[in-house]
Amino acid sequence: MFNRNRYAKINVKVLIILIIVTVALGASLFAARQIRRNLLSKISLNEGNAAYEKKDWEAAYKNFQEYLGRNPDDIEVLRKYAKARMSVRPIESPNIMQAIAGYRRILQLDPSDETAYEELIRLYSFIGNFDEMAYIARNRLADDPNDWKATLKLAEALYGQNKTKEAQEELKKITNTPKSEVPSEFVEEYVRACGLLSQIIYDDVTNQNKSEALTLLNQAVEAAEDTPESVEARAYRARYYHSSSQKPGQSEEDVQKNMERAREDLEEADKLGTENPRIRLLLAEEWIAHGELDKAAKELQAADDLKENLPEEKLEEYFFDIADWTVARFMLASRLAGLKGDMPGAIGLVDKVLEDLTDIRHRVHVLPTAIMSYVSDPNRVSDANELPDANECLDEYTDAIYTQQGQSVNRQAVSYLQALVARGKGNPYGVINALQPFVTSGASSPEVWRLLAEAFIRTDQTRRAVNAIIQSEDPEMTLLLAKEYLKLQDWTKALEIAQMAESSNPTDIALKLLRIQAGINVSVENLQENTPNQQALANDVWTAKATELSQIRTKHPDRVDIRILQSIVALQLKDPNTAENQLKQAIEDCNEPLRAEIQLVRFYRQQKRMDEAISACKSACDRHPEIAEPWLTLSDLHVGNKDYESARNCLNKALDVVTERWEKRSISINLALLELTRGENDEDLDKGIKILSDLAAQDKNEIRARTLLLATRKIQEDPNNRAQELIDELKEAEGQTGLQWRLNQARVWLASEEWRSKQQDIAGHLQYCIDMDPQWPAPVLLLANMYDVGKLNELGRVEDICRQALTHNPSAPGIIEKLVTTLERQGRLSDAEEVLKQPEADSQLSSRFHIRTALRA
């Protein structure tokens, strides 16, 4: 026992010693750690400050971040850290979010820190987080209710949230202040509040009285007098006057007054000058609206000078991200170059901005302009008629838009740009494919309808072109609409449109002549009725037209279309000698003699002077060998004489001398049709098929040749299913919105033994064609045939299909005949007679019906 106690006593002492040593060692280590932390903090702080002074923002924030990890409540360093984070370029989301976190930490430590409030509002505005922007602004106003900067920012945040009523309430807290009581330190906020409130009132479609908007801008101009903000106030008012001048229903005097007032403000703003590059760009935009391109260029140059000379921090007050300046500057400069017709300059701007901007967030704003510029530049078209630069930009823009949420408007822009590129490649069906789904889904801009109408015209879809032009509601397309009605031989519509357009623009010679041309055709059509009243009025009508044309000719002696119309009128006045002499004189005098030469050929043919017609046409071919029209006219004359060999020789000779691709194509198609319709044997038929097949092989987008091939019996009966191959090629060329491939596919299916199994597909294809072109008889008749006797034998469906089609095209003879025949088969002769009594019905159809009725009796 004695020994055990002795050893225990010794162990306690050792333990105490060990504890003391351990505590001492721990204290030493803690002290060393603190010394090391302080040393590292000092190093991080010193290096951070050094980098901050050099504006090496990335190094600064990294060092400050190290320091704040040990000293999280150091407000001064937090300020520098947040400033460094938000100053890193290029801007990246993590840096912005960390800057926001830094400033919010400052507000936790010091809720009255004004700089933190201002920077948070600025950052939230930049990223478009208007909820948080409003929250911060309200907190600032709770601390200082008289801070107009915070009030304005709160209003801007509410406006960004589409809370216009609440935004107006906040703005009125500023704008209701009498201008004499506006604090000098808040003049800028007063001007901008007046500007924003004025814009809200102007944009409010429920408020027809816009006078309050102008009153606010007048207040801003008066309050800012003799201050730097005067330029901004005048720029806003100039924009208001310019916008007001564009409102419909104004007299020319009111428009001129508004534009004059806008000019006065712009000129005064120029005298005063400003160091705000945003306002410089706004002034440039307004000068462009006045057609003052040189003054706009001076404003742009002044903005460029500010960008070069202003301190970086000052410039960032106007453009937080300098790349936003690059975008805004490019958009204006590009527009200016385009208006000046400086295509090389515009392309140079595009190339440079695409080189300068690397972030897709900025590139997405300039890519549409880049695409439009590249499409317009002939130097950017490859040998294969491709647009590599435009294609590359389009692919990038499409990828960017379709990866973003809520971009429906921009996705519509993608369709428009796709159509532009397709047009640049010479692919009108590509234009239709891009735009047709777009316009079907809702309202579209006049530019979209204009582009679509142009594509329909190029693909010979005149009825669809007319519909597109009407949908555009674009007054500038009225002339084109009248021309398309002339193509459809709808003389009355053409006359109505031409008269309406001429009333708005009475000095336009093209509209005047189009109105006369349409009127001539209407008069000729009316004379065919041969009523005594029409005959009595005829000479007076033609004499009046002759007088009007003579008056126009004195002002425009070189226009060949005037001479042609004079010749037509002279012929109606039973004066063929004058008609002939008018054309001969036009050939000698006018700048476009070919039109007069072709009209002279028509005149001879109409007068049954065929030898003279052929001689005149041969002369036209000799004078214009590279143009297809005289050769085609000569071939037609030979066909009229049943001299098919001469017609062939004429077209073959034309192929050797006609130069332009599309002119050659028209020659080839006419030669093929000649072989197919006038050939004497299978060899001639094969020649026609070969010509069309060669055209199809040369151009994957060739539609006409393929549809003609599909109409030949040899192709329809080909055991190798050549018809289906052609339909597949048509589908590839026309795309998903195509009509010809659908019509021909339905026709092939309907002619096959398996047509019953394809019934739903046939109906679907044909109904699509009818929906897209309601006046087109072919799909209507084919669909009716499927339900007719010999197929489904549903005569009620046939009647419904025909009657529905006649609501869109009441004068379609094939559909009227189909309906009458269907009613006859049902024994409904009185109903059939009612159909034929309609004014649109062809008299020949009525005659045939009455003959059949008499034979039955």
Cβ atoms within 10 Å of 702's Cβ, excluding its own: 19
Least confident of 312-316, 407-411, 759-763: 407-411
DSSP state of 181: G
Question: Of all residues in the chain, what percent carry a pLDDT higher than 90?
Answer: 75
- Read off the pLDDT of each residue in 209-232 and give the average, rounded to a whole number: 93
Residue 131 within any structural domain of the chain: no
Residue 283 within any structural domain of the chain: no
Least confident of 423-427, 762-766, 770-774: 423-427
pLDDT tens by residue, 288-298: 999 999 999 99
Which pLDDT value is given to residue 767?
97
Residue 571 within any structural domain of the chain: no
Rounded Cα distance, 122 and 463, in Å: 55
Residue 794 within any structural domain of the chain: yes
Q: How many CA atoms lie within 13 A of 794 on its CB side?
A: 10
pLDDT(535) > 70? no
Residue 712 within any structural domain of the chain: no
Which pLDDT value is given to residue 537?
63
pLDDT tens by residue, 814-853: 999 999 999 999 999 999 999 988 877 777 888 887 777 7
User: Per-residue confidence at 191, pLDDT binned at 50, 70, 90?
Assistant: very high
Which pLDDT value is given to residue 44?
86
Which pLDDT value is given to residue 530?
58
- CATH code of 834's domain: 1.25.40
Residue 851 within any structural domain of the chain: yes
Which pLDDT value is given to residue 7?
45
pLDDT tens by residue, 282-335: 999 999 999 999 999 999 999 999 999 998 888 888 999 999 999 999 999 999
Which pLDDT value is given to residue 532?
58
Domain region containing 793: 774-857
Residue-by-residue DSSP string for 405-460: SS-HHHHHHHHHHHHHHHHHTT-HHHHHHHHHHHHHTS---HHHHHHHHHHHHHTT
What are 509's two structure tokens? Answer: 């010679």
Residue 129 within any structural domain of the chain: no
Which pLDDT value is given to residue 25?
67
Number of domains in the chain: 1
Least confident of 191-195, 308-312, 727-731: 308-312
Residue 400 within any structural domain of the chain: no
Which pLDDT value is given to residue 6?
47
pLDDT(30) > 80? no
pLDDT(94) > 90? yes
- Read off the pLDDT of each residue in 199-207 and give the average, rounded to a whole number: 90
Contacts of 731 (CB under 8 A, 6+ apart): 738, 741, 745
Which pLDDT value is given to residue 15?
67
Contacts of 364 (CB under 8 A, 6+ apart): 397, 400, 401
Q: Prior bond to 90 cis, omega within 30?
A: yes
pLDDT tens by residue, 630-687: 999 999 999 999 999 999 999 999 999 998 999 999 999 999 999 999 887 889 999 9
Which pLDDT value is given to residue 8?
47
Which pLDDT value is given to residue 251?
86
DSSP state of 184: G
- Read off the pLDDT of each residue in 87-108 and give the average, rounded to a whole number: 94
- Read off the pLDDT of each residue in 348-364 and give the average, rounded to a whole number: 95
Which pLDDT value is given to residue 4?
46
Which pLDDT value is given to residue 182?
94
pLDDT tens by residue, 489-532: 999 999 999 999 888 888 889 889 999 999 998 888 776 655 55
Query: What rounded mean pLDDT belongs to the chain?
Result: 90
Helices and strands, counts by H and E, the chain: 45, 0
Closest CA to 706 of 743, 652, 760, 664: 743
